[in-house]
Amino acid sequence: MRERVPDLAKATVLLSNDDGIDAPGLGHLEKIVAPLVGELWVVAPEHEQSGAGHSLTLRRPLRIRHLSGHRYAVDGTPTDCVLLGINHIMRDAGRKPDLVLSGINRGGNLGEDVTYSGTIAAAMEATLLGYPAIALSLVADSGGNARWAVAERWLPEVLRGLQGQSWPEGVLMNVNFPDVPPDKVTGIEATRQGRRKPGGEIVEGRDPRGLPYYWVGGQRQEDRHRKQTDLEAVLRGAVTVTPLSMDLTHGAMLKSLKEAFG
């Protein structure tokens, strides 16, 4: 078991996201978290990186832009931000995070979304570096209208609930806030990863030169009814907390393969 998330009031917390340094969700996260924690650092992508997954920039150099105080932008992916944030920016200042928060993403990260999500990947990178990390996402309608007040009301309770928890190495938390008014939230529920695959629609068009292009649409294939999953619970109005494992090994299949291969 790894170290616990310490007393938040004394904690040094690093924030990142995948919607970019200027995204409203990051601004709301800073506003919610600043009064609760000891020290706040922000290292986030210059440009939106939704769908970037856990990609690492290897074929070009990265630039860091210092914005003010402990706020920085990196012209790379969420993974680049967390890696440079912890192993360069904070390290140079003699600091390391007690907790890493990623978000708040505009739009839920539910079911198989987590395998595409840059929001989750920032938390994955922190986890691989050995720091407790929580990904935060707010379910929003297709027009992108987001009820940030739900996160303002419920995030402090989620953090209080996770404070003092010791979670195993290689595990991160995936938190989703429902798209309902704050006083209609039914509570906080521990859930498992559900089934929802994005990219179900490919839109074909022609550019101004008559050449075809293809645009992956957001339409999802999803199972809204599988009980106690992130998707089912968040659609009922719950805030969901799903522990995710970096180890993707399937235990039952491994067992039967061991029997097959001896």
Binding site for Mn ion (CB under 5 A): 18-19, 50, 105
Between 16 and 50, name the residue whose CB sits nearer to Mn ion: 50
Task: State the Rg of the chain over Cα.
Answer: 19
120: phi then psi, degrees, rounded to nearest 5:
-65, -40
Q: How far is the CB of 249 from Mn ion (least distance, A)?
A: 28
Q: How far is the CB of 19 from Mn ion (least distance, A)?
A: 4
Between 70 and 106, name the residue whose CB sits nearer to Mn ion: 106
Q: How far is the CB of 40 from Mn ion (least distance, A)?
A: 21
C-alpha–C-alpha distance, residues 7 and 37, integer Å: 8
Q: Which helix (H) or strand (E) holds 232?
A: helix 230-235
- In a 10 Å sphere around its CB, with 0-12 CB exposed, 13-18 middle and 19+ buried, how is residue 51 labelled? middle
Between 5 and 52, name the residue whose CB sits nearer to Mn ion: 52
C-alpha–C-alpha distance, residues 162 and 134, integer Å: 10
Q: How far is the CB of 54 from Mn ion (least distance, A)?
A: 14
- Token pair for 207: 């550019």
Q: How far is the CB of 50 from Mn ion (least distance, A)?
A: 3
Q: Which residues contact 37 (CB under 8 A, 6 or more apart)?
A: 8, 9, 11, 12, 13, 99
Q: How far is the CB of 208 from Mn ion (least distance, A)?
A: 29
Q: Find, among 21, 105, 25, the residue nearest to 66 by Cα.
A: 21
Contact 175, 241 (CB under 8 A): yes
C-alpha–C-alpha distance, residues 138 and 162, integer Å: 18
Q: How far is the CB of 106 from Mn ion (least distance, A)?
A: 6
Between 47 and 160, name the residue whose CB sits nearer to Mn ion: 47
Contact 77, 57 (CB under 8 A): yes
Between 5 and 118, name the residue whose CB sits nearer to Mn ion: 118
Residue number of the CB atom closest to Mn ion: 50
Query: Hey, is 120 helix, strand or coil?
Result: helix
